[in-house]
Structure 1
Amino acid sequence: MEPGGRRERRWRQLQGPRQEAAEYYRDHRVPQRMEEALNALFPLRPADLYGELANYFSKFSKAPVICKLVGRKVIDGVGQPTLEVEIYCTVKNYEKRICSTVMSFHSQIPENALPETNEADEKERNDSVNTAVEWVSDSLNTMLRDLKPTDQCKVDEMLGEYFTKQAEFKKEIEKQEEEAAEVTLALTSCTPSATALPGGKNAAKPGRKVSAAERMIPPAEPVESVLCGSLAIGATSLAIAKAGATISRIPLYLHIALLKHGQDLPKEMTLPLPMVTLLNCEKIPPAKLKLMKEVMLIPPVQLSLKQGIERVLDIQKEMTRLLESPGKVQSSPRLADSKKGKAHNTGKKAPPRALKRISHLGCLITGCDNLEQPLLLMQTACNNLGLELGTDMYLAINCAAHELMDYVKGKYEILTGMFKSPDEMVDMYVELINKFPFIIALIDPLRKEDRQQWNNICCALGSKCYLIAEDAATCISKLKSDQKINIPTCSGVVLKYINQTKVSDLIELTGLLDGQRHITILGSPDGESSDDSLVDLAVGLGARFIKLGGLSRGERVTKYNRLLAIEEELAKNRTLREANLEFIAFDEESQPEKQLSDVLPPPTQDSLPPQLSQLPENSTLT
């Protein structure tokens, strides 16, 4: 028989035992038992098991590296151009978009600047943003390629070197332009037609007397020049930090905390207390008060952040009601007992309801006539809600004194036509805090040049409230030079993440401030965006306060919502520690002895808002 026939006969002989074996295994459910055994050993579905194996072996794959940076011109919360940076990384041989960040542009132009000054600032902003987009998409894109996004220190070092080269290049160009201008001036000065005539516009007038005040007060320090395009440095550094957190699969605030504490995560973390702006005191006529730029609320530490924000919202609603038209307020039950209120309720039509005005800071705008008026208004709103200032809520005042100095008179114009010297300002603040002890923070009560007065006010009030430097602190690059803090005597500093600031700069500077018993406040720039990274920076750096503006406008509310989310996460992980409000006592060697008794004259009925001047006699304002 052929070999093929033998194989076929043998195959037929084995069919019977094979069929029997198949029936046996089927009857005894061996496959089911094996599946049950596998499920006991590996309690996952096959797809899940493959996923776990993939995750395990991914640990041995190459770490993600930066493959592309993209710069883009976008619009911020006040309709001005600013910069967005996107980070792409190579993850398992695939290009993947990791994150993006929007850098807020910080303008140094005051609110009452001239129109031509604002136009020049807008042109400078556009040029800076366009240059920053070029830097990110071209030079920085090439320079940072193939670096790990988790290596923040190395990235920041390279960004710093690039910025230094660009700054030196700009100085060389300016020097060449100055030399060329001098040569041109020397050539033109030889011609008689170009000779300046005596008595011209810029000629010094003979016999002009310089007032004593001009000689006594220190001149204003020159404004720190901002390198065109420097926005790219800060935005890229922050974007790299966000990418590092994403790659490490941890929140940004934990990533920042690890960077600050040398990869040793603290067991507990404290949330910064919010300084919520409630009032923005406008400085245009007919308002007379120029001193208080912002009136802010600080919830007590006993409340959770969520409870504090809810309480601030209640006060904001009551404040809105008080700032409405007099007719609307007088018809309310709380104020209907006044004689003038009754007169308005006798059939007379109330005036049209005033429009609510919201500042770009996300707060209410109002004009005031004296120092006490906004404080009494705030006190009234709290009393109507059954709250007590100093116990249930605290106040902070942003004085913005640098915007008030009249350099001809050498004094601050705190009210229209009312001027005070730097020493008189100290006395005024002392009396203000003694009369309203619920004010626990003053921001920029003086110019940074008035260093002796900063020392005096800290000695007098340091144990009662925080004296904080915002504009009075120079830029971050100078603050951390030579391991010294270049600021006047103060309780703390408002830091703003702007321009060429890098994440490593903030970490280093907050470490220096912590070591010198200064508190850190992370502040939001005027032109904000919906990027909420500032909140993670404040939490990770351990800031005492965070200054985000008001509880209106989406770009600011987004940050408060992020703060609430972090509180919930820390509370769930049981790593949330309660904040504290310990003040810093300074030496009393330079404490001023005299105080002016007429600094805070008692408010008259005419100086109060209509709704407050018509309160019943048995109402209490204090």
Structure 2
Amino acid sequence: MNPSRIASLKLRQILDSRGRPTVEADVILNDGSMGRASVPSGASTGKYEARELRDGDVDSYEGYGVQAVIAKALQACEGQLQGVDALDQSAVDATLRWIDGTPDYGRVGANPILALSLATARAAAAHVRRPLHRYLSSLVPGLLPSLPMPMTNILSGGAHANGGMDFQDFLAMPIGATTYSQGLEWIARVRSAAARLMAQEGRVTLLADEGGLSPGFEAAEQALTLMVRAIEAARLRPGHDMAIAIDVAASQLYVEQRHCYHLHRAGRDLTPDEMMSHVFDLCGRYPILSVEDPFDQDDWQAWQSFTHKMAERSLQLVGDDLFATNVQRLATGIERRVANAVLIKVNQNGTLSGTLDVIALARKAGYATVVSARSGETEDSFIADLAVAAGAGQIKIGSVRNSERQSKYNQLLRIEEEGTLTLAAFMRQ
């Protein structure tokens, strides 16, 4: 018996950070090595993402349960995966794709498929007795590992905060930090300062899905002004020590019938050109260095125009719903010269190998990569190891609150402690 071959697997229903069911997998090898992984779920989801499945039984977790999905996946996958060598991640993931047989994993479900893919990688790392990030590095030859620059949620709106603000996220990036731990401490200071300033103004400091503060401002300018004030109150220099990133999540704002973007809180409808001018103006007035999803996932013309316009300011333009961690979508974007960075979400893709293919293509084309968590997360820290191993450069986890976020931040602290990796510089710094 080959000791690294898969002997058995388990799937179970657990709860994510929003109290909704998700899938956790155990993969056990012939030598007893075991890997465990759980998968997240998004609130602001694009239509090109791999498809997660739910049971739809309203009497069990209001239809969000996954027990029937798990039973079906176990029946489909167990016999086919047994005997596959866990050290051959490409073969494992090819088997999973073949089992499902659909482009978006709509038959078995991307949630159990991804859980099995990631758990297999953990089992393989246990088998060779290497830390996960070092084992994953062997799967991405040519990409130098590094500690990622955190891109951390401070203020939340959009689908993460029940529409409390039109734009989804206002984030802090410690571009002046020289170490990961220093950058994390700076971020914690900024978040604390923002909470104090909101309390002084009599605003409720409720938390959104990702642990960010939800002030409910009507205009993006109000949120950005608070961000600058919080950075200064944290004894940091806006644009030098700490920069701002924004996630518009414009697909959530897009009204297809009218081809416009509806800003409910601001009481405005913007054409694509007006949205372009609005975001461009904000970037000129505030220390914003990164903009994510300023247009709908199918508004290619607006994306192209804005990419050209943003180039004069050397800003990072990130595609999330636009690319959906899909190699074909990214290839189209590269061909059309759209954006210059891609958000990497493993559950948008469905397998580890597929995700690594997207990272490799992005890096080959000179696109920056930002490994990202989801709004519905688990305490699994896999993406922290992935960001390090692939030299992603940036990571977007959520705020520095709640255990499902801290598990990733703290894993990066442990990896930093090894003393062999440096903090990645921001792409345009």
What 5-or-longer segments of structure 1 have no aligned partner? 1-60, 111-117, 169-223, 328-353, 585-622
Shift of 1:301: 4.8
Report if the CA contact (8 A) 1:64-1:148 is conserved: yes
SS at match of 1:99: strand
For residues 441-520 of structure 1, the aligned pairs below 5 Å read 441-462=290-311, 463-474=313-324, 476=326, 478-479=328-329, 489-498=338-347, 501-520=350-369
Whole-angstrom distance in 2 between the partners of 1:157 and 1:311: 42
Report if the CA contact (8 A) 1:128-1:231 is conserved: no
Report if the CA contact (8 A) 1:397-1:439 is conserved: yes
Report if the CA contact (8 A) 2:176-2:240 is conserved: no
Q: Given the superposition, is the C-alpha separation of residues 150 and 97 from structure 1 closer, same or farther in structure 2, using an over 3 Å criterion?
A: closer
The structure that is helix-richer by fraction is: 1
Equivalent position amino acid for 1:137 in 2: L
Shift of 1:284: 12
1:102 to 2:38 alignment: yes
Equivalent position amino acid for 1:313 in 2: A
The aligned residue for residue 304 of structure 1 is 179
Shift of 1:320: 0.8
Whole-angstrom distance in 2 between the partners of 1:239 and 1:125: 28
Equivalent position amino acid for 2:271 in 1: S
Whole-angstrom distance in 1 between the partners of 2:33 and 2:427: 44
SS at match of 2:139: helix
Equivalent position amino acid for 1:304 in 2: T
Whole-angstrom distance in 1 between the partners of 2:106 and 2:148: 29
For residues 416-435 of structure 1, the aligned pairs below 5 Å read 416-435=266-285
Equivalent position amino acid for 2:289 in 1: I
Report if the CA contact (8 A) 2:164-2:214 is conserved: no
Whole-angstrom distance in 2 between the partners of 1:371 and 1:229: 37
Q: Given the superposition, is the C-alpha separation of residues 298 and 319 from structure 1 closer, same or farther in structure 2, using an over 3 Å criterion?
A: same
Whole-angstrom distance in 1 between the partners of 2:336 and 2:403: 33
For residues 82-97 of structure 1, the aligned pairs below 5 Å read 82-91=22-31, 96=32
Whole-angstrom distance in 2 between the partners of 1:563 and 1:411: 40
Equivalent position amino acid for 2:236 in 1: L
C-alpha distance after superposition, 1:210-265 (max 9, x if no partner):
xxxxxxxxxxxxxx79445332211111111111111111111111111111xx7x
Shift of 1:382: 2.1
Identity of aligned residues (%): 25
C-alpha distance after superposition, 1:544-603 (max 9, x if no partner):
21111111111111110011111111x1xxx3234222349xxxxxxxxxxxxxxxxxxx
Match of 1:269 among 145, 149, 153: 145
Match of 2:155 among 249, 274, 279: 279
Report if the CA contact (8 A) 2:5-2:84 is conserved: yes
What 5-or-longer segments of structure 2 have no aligned partner? 47-53
Whole-angstrom distance in 2 between the partners of 1:284 and 1:517: 30
Whole-angstrom distance in 2 between the partners of 1:124 and 1:501: 24
SS at match of 2:397: strand
SS at match of 1:297: strand
Report if the CA contact (8 A) 2:344-2:359 is conserved: no
Whole-angstrom distance in 1 between the partners of 2:342 and 2:171: 17
The aligned residue for residue 255 of structure 2 is 406
Report if the CA contact (8 A) 1:275-1:297 is conserved: yes
Whole-angstrom distance in 1 between the partners of 2:34 and 2:190: 40
1:70 to 2:16 alignment: no
Q: Report the count of equivalent residues.
A: 419
C-alpha distance after superposition, 1:387-439 (max 9, x if no partner):
21001101000111111123343321235331211012212222221222x10
The aligned residue for residue 222 of structure 2 is 373
Equivalent position amino acid for 2:121 in 1: A
1:253 to 2:102 alignment: no
C-alpha distance after superposition, 1:53-96 (max 9, x if no partner):
xxxxxxxx9533321101111111111111111112222xxxx3
The aligned residue for residue 557 of structure 1 is 406
Report if the CA contact (8 A) 2:150-2:395 is conserved: yes
The aligned residue for residue 20 of structure 1 is none
1:79 to 2:15 alignment: no
Whole-angstrom distance in 2 between the partners of 1:242 and 1:495: 19
Report if the CA contact (8 A) 2:180-2:423 is conserved: no
C-alpha distance after superposition, 1:138-196 (max 9, x if no partner):
332211212322121211111111111xx39xxxxxxxxxxxxxxxxxxxxxxxxxxxx
Shift of 1:495: 1.7
C-alpha distance after superposition, 1:329-385 (max 9, x if no partner):
xxxxxxxxxxxxxxxxxxxxxxxxx65311111111111122211111111222223
Shift of 1:303: 2.4
SS at match of 2:19: coil
Q: Given the superposition, is the C-alpha separation of residues 487 and 243 from structure 1 closer, same or farther in structure 2, using an over 3 Å criterion?
A: farther
The aligned residue for residue 112 of structure 2 is 232
Shift of 1:451: 1.7
Q: Given the superposition, is the C-alpha separation of residues 477 and 302 from structure 1 closer, same or farther in structure 2, using an over 3 Å criterion?
A: closer
Shift of 1:449: 2.2
The aligned residue for residue 397 of structure 1 is 246
Report if the CA contact (8 A) 1:129-1:231 is conserved: no
Shift of 1:525: 1.6
The aligned residue for residue 424 of structure 2 is 579
Equivalent position amino acid for 1:77 in 2: S
Shift of 1:498: 1.1
Q: Given the superposition, is the C-alpha separation of residues 133 and 485 from structure 1 closer, same or farther in structure 2, using an over 3 Å criterion?
A: farther
Shift of 1:488: 6.7
RMSD: 3.2
The aligned residue for residue 50 of structure 2 is none
Report if the CA contact (8 A) 1:394-1:440 is conserved: yes
Match of 2:236 among 387, 391, 394: 387
Report if the CA contact (8 A) 2:145-2:390 is conserved: no
Whole-angstrom distance in 2 between the partners of 1:105 and 1:373: 30
Whole-angstrom distance in 1 between the partners of 2:147 and 2:310: 26
Whole-angstrom distance in 1 between the partners of 2:160 and 2:244: 24
Whole-angstrom distance in 2 between the partners of 1:484 and 1:409: 25
Report if the CA contact (8 A) 2:322-2:329 is conserved: no
